[in-house]
Amino acid sequence: MEITYSPLGDEAIVIEVGNEISKEATNLVRSITKRIEETLIDSIIEVIPAFTTVTVFYEVTAELQYKDIKKIIEKTLVEMQDFTSLEQRTIEIPVCYGGEHGPDLEFVAKHNQLSVEEVVAIHSSGTYEVNMIGFAPGFPFIEGMSEKIAAPRRTTPRLRIPERTVGIAGIQTGVYPIETPGGWQLIGRTPIDLFLPMEKIPSLLQAGDRIIFKPISEEEYAEWEGTTHAAD
Partner 1 sequence: MLQINKEGLQTTVQDIGRRGFQKYGVIVSGVMDPYAHRIANVLVGNSETDSTIEITLVGPQLTFLEDCLFSLTGGDLSPLLNGTPIKMWRPILAKKGCKLTFGKPRSGCRTYLAVAGGISVTEVMDSKSTYLRAGIGGFDGRALKKGDVVKSGEVSKYIRTFKEKLAREATDSSFIQVDWTLMTQAIPIYQSEDSVRVTEGRQAKLFDEKSKDVFYNEAFQISSDSDRMGYRLKGPQLTLKEPKELVSEGVAFGSIQVPPDGQPIILMADRQTTGGYPKIGQIASVDLPKVSQLKPGESIRFEKITLEEAQQAMLNERRLIAQLTKSISLKFKEGI
Interacting residues toward partner 1 by CB under 8 A: 6-12, 14, 19-21, 33, 45-55, 57, 60-62, 65-66, 132-139, 141, 177-178, 180, 195, 197-198, 201-203, 206
3-state secondary structure of 219: helix
Least Å distance, CB 36 to partner 1, is 11
Least Å distance, CB 19 to partner 1, is 6
Least Å distance, CB 11 to partner 1, is 6
Cβ proximity to partner 1, 6 vs 217, nearer residue: 6
Least Å distance, CB 34 to partner 1, is 11
Cβ proximity to partner 1, 190 vs 203, nearer residue: 203
Angle of helix 23-39 relative to helix 66-78, nearest 10 degrees, comes to 110
In eight-state DSSP terms, residue 116 is: H
Element (H, E) at 181: strand 180-182
Cβ proximity to partner 1, 159 vs 219, nearer residue: 159
Beta bridge partner(s), residue 95: 215
Note whether 186 and 102 are within 8 A (CB): yes
Cβ proximity to partner 1, 20 vs 219, nearer residue: 20
Cβ proximity to partner 1, 50 vs 109, nearer residue: 50
**Residue 217: C-alpha distances to residues 42, 97, 151, 223 (Å):** 49, 8, 24, 10
Least Å distance, CB 22 to partner 1, is 10
Note whether 189 and 218 are within 8 A (CB): no
